[in-house]
Each structure stands twice: as structure tokens, then as C-alpha cells.
Amino acid sequence: MFVHVPSRRKPQTAIATYFLVALSIAMFVVWWIQPPEARTRWVHLFGVLPADWVAITSQGSKALAVHVMRLASALFVHADGLHLIGNLVFLLVFGASAEKPLGAARLITLFLLCGMAANLFGAWWFPAQAAPIIGSSGAVSALVGAYATLFPRSRLGLMLPLGAFLEFVRMPAYGLIGLWVLVQVLMFVLTPGGSPVAWPVHLAGFACGVGYALLSRDAIARRLRN
């Protein structure tokens, strides 16, 4: 697991990151307390259905608005507790660190826009998939991409099983994130359409996060100067 190694500067409260975490947990609790049949309906109601986008040209503007909203709502729907926890860990590690230079509003914009774009890419990539695309993996991957762009020389901690003990090892962010990207690419190549994990969504989110951070460089520089 990645752990951010903080600098000696005075930490700032990551309001936007904590808000996204709280919203994700609240949505999961509301989903979890429902009976199984209602959970299934919930996933299909708020998840992204690729078939809807395949037939988008034959649907009206109201249907399009619903599908666009689902690109966002799907970010807060998770299949189970492990799915949620995995995404929240990455959200806390990378979101809290990226929020300082980006600011709360820009971080939420990054999370939503890149998450929606990644989900749309997933719907385009898997046009015949019957299962809805859910989870914040695309948005979280965007945060990883933004972090790698903003802090390429920072250091991340990694817990490694060395012998009978877990050792905390510090490594450059670009090395660990580069390894993460490599794993995503390998899984994407080795499991084309045969995995419950939407690897293309991860890669699309990462690319979107990199682009967002690059486009925001001037605004970030002004924010840090102030």
C-alpha cells in the first residue's frame, strides 16, 4: 500500500478529500442497508450502462441528461466493502496531497470530470457489456495521475513483506506510480474483456488526471504564490 511521506510544512485540512470520502461512505451505507433486490436496482439506476451509450443517438435530450448524470453517480456506487476501501485508501493518500496545490474546488472538479470521462471511455470500450460500470476507480486514478504530474520527485512509503516482518520503504513517487501504471497496462493486455475490473477506465482516468494537472499549471502556480 502507498503511504504519502509528508514534508515539514504545516499541514492543511483536505476538506474536499474528506468530503468525497464521507459522501462515498454515506452512499455505500444507504446501498448496504437495502434488501438484495433493491441493491441490484440501485446499481442499475446509478451505474453506467454501456448499452445506453451505444443507442444514445436514438434517444432524446432528457435520456442524454440522465446518462450524463449516471457518469457521475456511478463514482459513488461500489460493489462491496473491499471495493470501497481500496478506492478510499488511494483517495486519501493522493487526494489529500494534491488538494493543497489544486485547492478544494479544483480537486472536486478533477475528481468528477475525469471520473466521468473515464466512465464514458469504459462505456465506449465495452459496448457489449451488460454489467454496469461502477466505482470511483477512474476518478481515483485521475488523482494518481495529477499527483504524479505535480509531485514527480516526492517520496512515497511502501509496506513490503521482507522476511517475517513488514518493512516501510521510501521510494520516489515516479517509481511507484510508474510501477502502478505498468500493472494497469499489463492487466489490461492480459485480461481483455475477461476481468470484473475495468482496467481501461483506470488508464483513462490516469491520463485525464495528467492532462488536468498540466492544464492547471498556471492557476496552481498563482495559488501557491498567494
Could you tell me the domains of the chain? 2-225 (1.20.1540.10)
Number of Cβ within 10 Å of residue 140's Cβ equals 30
Determine which of 39-48, 127-136, 169-178 has the lowest per-residue pLDDT on average.
169-178
104-133: pLDDT as tens digits: 999 999 999 999 999 999 999 888 888 899
pTM score, whole prediction:
0.85
Percent share of the chain, pLDDT over 70: 84
Number of Cβ within 10 Å of residue 73's Cβ equals 17
- Report the pLDDT value the prediction gives residue 56, as an integer from 0 to 100: 72
- Report the pLDDT value the prediction gives residue 198, as an integer from 0 to 100: 84
Instruction: Give 223's Cβ-side CA count (13 Å radius).
Output: 14
